[in-house]
């Protein structure tokens, strides 16, 4: 997928196999190159959706890089031989890239005007010297309007951070990557909410233990209970099948 980067197949998808430091360096270098493209941070929900949705699967295949945003994804990578694979969480990658790319212009796309307003106040405090090219939270159904895309393009960002929810953000990025080049588009889901302080993130010990999903479930049970029950069960089955094939 990327020169010099280790990858591992996860349910038929090439996924980065390394740590946050390496992922940050790769993303910053690519953004500086002006080659454009888009990035997906793949969790279990996205990986399982790709198994039954050809559009999502094609989007992941066309991505410049797919990072393992989910402890089960990096766990399967390690079980398949990529011993250095670690989870690359969207909020962590976003903040690390912002801190390592003060020479680049960043655009915030998606979420709500309220969340974006809070981000525009809080991010420069967390990252002194940050260059924000702009932000836009289009109304539902207007994410792909010509005027919307032109507004992002006219800001001339190097990186567009996309928070439309997965896999919607992957499909949007794939559709508009060429029009927004040379910017690099990065789908980070709930990272906007966490960095804005609109939603609480799991404590560090839960993140390190791979239990951030449990914290999110407790915070949003109605929205996430069925998703986790269905996709996690399917992931366990497919992961076990891959490991059995590896052993045979």
Q: How does pLDDT run across 129-185, given as a tens digit for each residue?
A: 999 999 999 999 999 999 999 999 999 999 999 999 999 999 999 999 999 999 999
Res. 2 pLDDT band, cuts 50 70 90: very low
List, for residues 97-140, the tens digit of each pLDDT value. 999 999 999 999 999 999 999 999 999 999 999 999 999 999 99
Maximum CA extent, the chain: 55
Q: Tokens for 79, please give them.
A: 């079980």
**More confident of the two residues 201 and 59:** 59
pLDDT at site 3: 40
User: Domain spans of the chain?
Assistant: 7-247
pLDDT at site 180: 98
pLDDT at site 1: 36
Query: Ranked by mean pLDDT, which of 90-94, 207-211, 244-248 comes out on top?
Result: 90-94
pLDDT at site 203: 77
- DSSP secondary structure letters along 30-70: HHHHT---EEEEE-HHHHHHHHH-HHHHHHHHHSSEEEE-S
Strand-strand pairing, 159-163 and 131-136 = unpaired
Average pLDDT over residues 3-9: 77
Are the C-beta atoms of residues 99 and 20 closer than 8 Å to each other? Answer: no
pTM of the model: 0.92
């Amino acid at each position: 997928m990327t020169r010099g980067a280790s990858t591992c197949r996860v349910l038929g998808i090439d996924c980065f196999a390394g740590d946050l430091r390496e992922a940050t360096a790769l993303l910053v270098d690519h953004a500086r190159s002006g080659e454009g493209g888009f990035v997906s941070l793949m969790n279990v929900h996205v990986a399982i959706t790709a198994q039954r949705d050809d559009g999502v699967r094609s989007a992941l295949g066309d991505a410049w890089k797919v990072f393992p945003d989910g402890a089960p994804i990096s766990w399967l990578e390690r079980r398949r031989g990529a011993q250095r694979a670690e989870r690359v969480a969207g909020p962590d990658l976003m903040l690390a890239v912002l801190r390592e790319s003060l020479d680049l212009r960043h655009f915030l796309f998606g979420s709500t005007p309220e969340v974006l307003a809070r981000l525009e106040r809080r991010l420069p405090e967390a990252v002194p010297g940050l260059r924000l090219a702009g932000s836009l939270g289009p109304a539902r159904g207007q994410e792909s309007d010509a005027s919307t895309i032109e507004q992002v393009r006219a800001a001339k960002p190097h990186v567009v951070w996309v928070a439309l929810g997965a896999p919607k953000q992957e499909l949007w990025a794939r559709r508009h990557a060429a029009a927004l080049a040379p910017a690099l588009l990065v789908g980070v889901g709930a990272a906007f909410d966490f960095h804005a302080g609109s939603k609480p993130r799991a404590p560090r010990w839960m993140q390190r233990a791979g239990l951030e999903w449990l914290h999110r479930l407790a915070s949003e049970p109605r929205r996430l209970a069925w998703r986790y029950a269905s996709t996690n069960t399917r992931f366990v089955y497919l992961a076990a099948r891959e490991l059995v094939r590896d052993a045979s």
